[in-house]
Amino acid sequence: MAKNKKAHHMKLFLLLFFSLTLPAAAGEYRFRCIGEVTGLCDFVYDAQGKETTIVIARNSDPECLALFKALQQKRIYGTKGMEDHMGAKWEQAIILTGEFTSKPKRTKSAPNMAASEEYRDFKITGLKLRFPVSRFAEIREEGEFDGPVLMETHFGFESLFPQGVKFVGKTIELSNHVEKHPDSK
């Protein structure tokens, strides 16, 4: 009897151990980049709002990575939700489909470097943008926005990328990367 009880406890321990250490299954996450910092700046948020710092895996979907980079060049970095800049409400809803491909890791730390941070590798398998999306138009070369700014609002990829986005010489079908707004029917 004691031997069966011990085997049962061992099975429970192993089940719990492996469920905590295996990478998470694929899911949808809200993406946000906080911009120029000395450490890691990319975050995803699950449906409950839990934040995880990520490093985007090299084996992510190449077409999604091309669109991702194009969005960042247009200053579309993602937001956790609605933002407020001096009374102007705006949002950049980037929805990533993907999975964590590593256990939590830590960045290296040394003198004159950012403090060590926890992160996980994240493989992007899909990317969608929810419109409308707003962005700050460039009004000067450098520096922080500390006064009035020009904010553009885009209602589709057509105005954001009039020439489209190319990957390996072929135009990406951007309509495949649109997330319907939850309030739309």
Look at residue 151 in the predicted model and tell me its pLDDT: 82
Query: Looking at the domain assignment, is residue 52 inside a domain?
Result: yes
The residue range of the domain holding 35 is: 24-179
Banded model confidence at residue 143, pLDDT cuts 50, 70, 90: low
Question: What is the per-residue burial (b if ≥16 Cβ within 10 Å, else e) of 77-88?
Answer: bbbbeeeeeeee
Task: List pLDDT tens digits, range 94-108.
Answer: 999 999 999 999 998
Look at residue 13 in the predicted model and tell me its pLDDT: 41
Query: Looking at the domain assignment, is residue 84 inside a domain?
Result: yes
Of the listed ranges 4-18, 45-59, 113-127, 153-167, the least confidently predicted one is: 4-18
H or E element that contains 70: helix 62-73
Task: List pLDDT tens digits, range 20-71.
Answer: 334 445 799 999 998 666 678 899 999 999 999 999 999 999 999 999 999 9
* Average pLDDT value for residue range 62-86: 90
* Average pLDDT value for residue range 70-89: 86
Look at residue 159 in the predicted model and tell me its pLDDT: 94
Long-range own/partner contacts, residues 64-70 (CB < 8 A, 24 or more apart): 64/124, 64/125, 64/126, 64/127, 64/177, 65/124, 66/165, 66/166, 66/167, 66/172, 67/127, 67/165, 67/167, 67/172, 67/174, 67/177, 68/124, 68/127, 70/161, 70/165
Query: Looking at the domain assignment, is residue 185 inside a domain?
Result: no
pTM (predicted TM-score): 0.76
* Average pLDDT value for residue range 123-140: 86
129 in Cβ contact with 155 (< 8 Å): no
Query: Looking at the domain assignment, is residue 184 inside a domain?
Result: no
Number of domain units in the chain: 1
User: Over the chain, what is the mean pLDDT?
Assistant: 82
CA distances from 107 to 3, 39, 53, 111, 119 (A): 44, 9, 11, 13, 8
Look at residue 71 in the predicted model and tell me its pLDDT: 94
Q: Interior CA angle at 41 toward 61 and 57, to 5°?
A: 25
